[in-house]
A and B are shown apart, each in its own frame.
Chain A
Amino acid sequence: MIEVLAPGPYASVQDLGRPGYAHLGVPRSGAADAPSLRLANRLVGNAETLAGIELTLGRARLRFLDAAWVALAGAPLAGADMGAPFRVPAGGELRLGAPVWGLRTYLAVRGGIAVEPVLGSRSTDSLSGLGPEPLRAGALLPVGPPEGEISVDLAPPPPPRAAVLRVLPGPRDDWFVPEAPAELCGRPYTVTPDSNRVGVRLRGPGLARAKEGELPSEGMVAGAVQVPPSGQPIVFLADHPPTGGYPVIAVVREADLPVVAQLRPGDEVRFTARPAI
């Protein structure tokens, strides 16, 4: 059992989400930076699908009622052992600092966080409210039985990547003026403070529409660059609504979604439609 003494600015339990229910109005949810959760799980010998804790801007304090192997991955926290498993003794308290760069840090514990799954997932879905509540001081998190072997010793955190997001045009690029894709991939955008697990809201060059009227609601994917009437794009993250009515000018490549998930308010980000090198 883990006792949450302080969750930091925002923290939630996340696994790889609940795929397969979008047609019933259920967001996929799951870790916003899924490769970092997978890595943290591997470091403690867990299956990649087990649930861990997603910290936003770090600064959590956790008490481990039982001894446990723990690993951290994602945004590197000042003074923490990133990318290598370490042992927390029974009764031990883990005090985590703020990230040096990035936004979201993943804590995996050997055995996984074993809260009750909802529709096959332990993820907190901030949009629909499915899954456990976001972490609060005093919350108790059960830990599952350990399985598998701890086999990876060290995976140093990657250096921060320049925030250049590769996109594939469409599906609704034809709803915009011909110059819009060049605008999107021209000057940088700034991440605004109202960004969250649903999407990263950007401020920068406006994207003008060629078509008036309303797009009938249609299915949305993670990484979709949706453009509301303001012309300021939103990049969808894990808790994005499964359907939406604003046209999507382009979609960020899956490999760059972790970069999106690590953007902080105030960060600059660029888009490029050039193919990957």
Chain B
Amino acid sequence: MIRTAGEHGLLVETGSLELSHRLDAALRARRPEGVVEIVPGPETVLVVAPGADRGRLRARLEEAVLRERDRAAAGADDDRPVVTIPVVYDGADLDSVAELAGISVAEVVARHCGRELVVGWLGFAPGFAYLTGLDPVLELPRLDTPRTSVPAGSVAVAGPYSAVYPAASPGGWRLIGRTAMRVWDVAGDPPALFRPGMRVRFEAA
């Protein structure tokens, strides 16, 4: 289903993050005329195209969703890029995460590094990626009281997600480590290291 989001936006319901990523990649590879924004979410992709012929764009999107759904069902190619993030696991909440999860600190590290995560979508702040696929043992609620400032490069978990803080900001996620890798650089092209659909591995530095 494709919903109307104002005069220039169409919100495509994909129903799954995987299909959102496939549609996002397909539209970026062959961008329909007039499209200025393609914003994937967990179950949707927003397409903003001021001045585009909406009827044609809608038809094009419908066709693209069906094609990508078929490709997903056929288990077509996983050629998404992988990035490895070296982490020093010494976060302020590392001990409490271990305690709440009922495991040792070493096992927190092993579980955080043990699975390949996928960049779900970005939001909250420029370059802030919601990394999906976290080991469920590490799923913990956000802190009751958010910190007023979390340093850039902090590696954190909250709910079913992990993240790397792209810049110093307030934050309520649980800090388990830090990385020297820059995930956000306004001078870079693209400025964000993480893009939706990218695969991510953490590695103890």
- Encoded as 1 (CB less than 8 Å from any B CB) or 0, chain A from 247 to 276 comes to 010011110000000000000000000000
Task: List B contacts of A118 (CB < 8 A).
Answer: 186
Interface residue? A144 (CB, 8 A): no
Task: List B contacts of A22 (CB < 8 A).
Answer: 37, 39, 46, 48
Interface residue? A216 (CB, 8 A): yes
Which one of B83-91, B109-117, B134-142, B191-199 contacts A?
B191-199
Which residue of chain A has the shortest Cβ distance to B38 in the bound complex?
A23
Given A23-B24, A23-B40, A24-B126, CB of A170 within 8 Å of CB of B4: yes
Task: List A contacts of B44 (CB < 8 A).
Answer: 216, 218-219
Task: List A contacts of B167 (CB < 8 A).
Answer: 129
Task: List B contacts of A119 (CB < 8 A).
Answer: 186, 191
Select one of B11, B46, B127, B186 contacting A25, CB under 8 A. B127
CA distance A130 to B9 in the complex (A): 24
Chain A contact patch, size range: 35 or more
Interface residue? B158 (CB, 8 A): no
CA distance A252 to B9 in the complex (A): 12
Chain B contact patch, size range: 35 or more
Interface residue? B144 (CB, 8 A): no
Task: List A contacts of B130 (CB < 8 A).
Answer: 217
Distance of B184 from chain A, by nearest CB (Å)? 9
Given A219-B46, A221-B48, A243-B41, CB of A25 within 8 Å of CB of B7: no
Q: Is the CB of B6 within 8 A of A243?
A: no
Distance of A201 from chain B, by nearest CB (Å)? 19
Q: Is the CB of A23 within 8 A of B43?
A: no
CA distance A218 to B8 in the complex (A): 16
Q: Is the CB of A216 within 8 A of B5?
A: no
CA distance A218 to B195 in the complex (A): 16
Interface residue? A171 (CB, 8 A): yes
CA distance A94 to B43 in the complex (A): 52
Main secondary structure of the interface of A (DSSP, over half): loop
Task: List B contacts of A219 (CB < 8 A).
Answer: 5, 9, 11, 37, 39-41, 44-46, 48
Q: Is the CB of B6 within 8 A of A168?
A: yes
Distance of B158 from chain A, by nearest CB (Å)? 14
Given A23-B24, A217-B121, CB of A242 within 8 Å of CB of B3: no
CA distance A21 to B45 in the complex (A): 14
CA distance A251 to B130 in the complex (A): 27
Interface residue? A158 (CB, 8 A): no
Task: List B contacts of A2 (CB < 8 A).
Answer: none
Q: Interface on B for A, CB 8 Å cutoff?
A: 3-9, 11, 24, 36-46, 48, 50, 121-130, 167, 186, 190-192, 195-196
What are 12 A-B pairs with beta-carbon distances under 8 A?
A: A21-B191, A22-B39, A22-B46, A23-B122, A25-B128, A119-B191, A130-B126, A130-B186, A171-B4, A171-B5, A218-B39, A219-B5
